Amino acid sequence: MSEPMIEVRNLSYTYRGRGEKSALSSVTFSVSRGEWLAVIGRNGAGKSTLAGLLVGLLKPQSGSIRINGQMLDETSEWALRRHMGIVFQNPDNQFIGTTVEDDVAFGLENENMPVAQMKVRVAEALKLVGLSGLRQADPSRLSGGQKQRVAIAGILALRPDILILDEAFVMLDPKSRRDLLSTLRRLAEATHLTILSITHDMDEAAASNRILVMQDGKIVNDGTPGQIFSTEKDLGAPFSERLRRILLAKGRRAPDQYMTEEEMVDWLWK
């Protein structure tokens, strides 16, 4: 097993003025380089608090975070944040440019990247999110889903080592969502991008390598999508699992355990 990219130990956090209740209590887990970890759980479970601590928006009150082996603290924070990108649910108020292209270039401009190189990066990133055709468009006139894809492109253009998505796909239509999930899957495999995606969408969770289930600030389950979807029965199952259950219920031939969509398609074709 490679050295963990993210290593969280006994991390706790309580918002001020909220009495004794911790938003996060003694959370421990790690994520390997190139791994895609999905984090699921009800509203208020502590998922966004965890994301905020990882990217340094909040300061840990106890416990520790290591990024690529290095302790995240006041002295290392700026250098480490350069390797992490986060996208939130709501894309409004992240727009600064007059064209989509300018917008995606914003983070790169801050790095003083030569213009020619920047153009290549921006074009690549727009291609990844399926928006090459809207390079010159006015960002304020895009749909919510398109704005969100621009925001994701802006982060991908920076080529982070770690991508954190906090319900970032909520605004996307089903097709863009599926396309982006497979793009991210490819990126994780090809570039060893490490992904932590917080989601309510079970198809998104199913695209990950591993799922953490959170409840009341704690991790209550940790396993592969197959393990999670077979033990957490009250979760809405991803599409492939729903299909498998329907086949079983109708007395049809069906796989005897959870399969990803791809595995399911292969299986059905046999």
Ligand X SMILES: Nc1ncnc2c1ncn2[C@@H]1O[C@H](COP(=O)(O)OP(=O)(O)O)[C@@H](O)[C@H]1O
Closest approach of Mg ion to the CB of residue 41, in Å: 9
Length of the chain: 270
Q: Which is nearer to ligand X, 142 or 202 (CB)?
A: 202
Q: Which is nearer to ligand X, 18 or 233 (CB)?
A: 18
Exposure class string for 215-239: b at 16+ Cβ within 10 A, else e:
eebebebeeebbebbeebeebebbe
Tokens representing 2 are: 């490679």
Q: Which does 15 bind (CB under 5 to 8 A by kind): ligand X, Mg ion, none?
A: ligand X
- Residue numbers at the binding site for Mg ion (CB under 5 A): 47-48
Distance CA 205, CA 223 (A): 11
Tokens representing 128 are: 């990844």
Residue of the chain from 12, 25, 48, 208 that contacts ligand X (CB under 6 A): 48
Residue of the chain from 8, 45, 158, 165 that contacts ligand X (CB under 6 A): 45
Residue of the chain from 49, 146, 176, 208 that contacts ligand X (CB under 6 A): 49
Residue of the chain from 2, 43, 93, 110 that contacts ligand X (CB under 6 A): 43
Q: Which is nearer to ligand X, 49 or 194 (CB)?
A: 49
Closest approach of Mg ion to the CB of residue 51, in Å: 8
Q: Which does 49 bind (CB under 5 to 8 A by kind): ligand X, Mg ion, none?
A: ligand X
Closest approach of Mg ion to the CB of residue 162, in Å: 18
Q: Which does 146 bind (CB under 5 to 8 A by kind): Mg ion, ligand X, none?
A: none
CB 139 within 8 A of CB 172: no
Beta-carbon count within 10 A of 107 CB: 16
Closest approach of Mg ion to the CB of residue 197, in Å: 12
> Which residues have CB under 8 Å from 121's CB, separation 6+?
105, 108, 113, 157, 159
- The residues facing 67 across adjacent strands are 6, 70
What is the DSSP pairing of strand 24-32 with strand 36-40? unpaired
Residue of the chain from 33, 44, 83, 130 that contacts ligand X (CB under 6 A): 44
Helical packing angle, 174-191 and 144-156, nearest 10°: 10
> Is residue 41 at the binding interface for ligand X, with CB under 6 A as the rule?
yes
Positions that interact with ligand X (CB under 6 A): 15, 18, 23, 41, 43-49
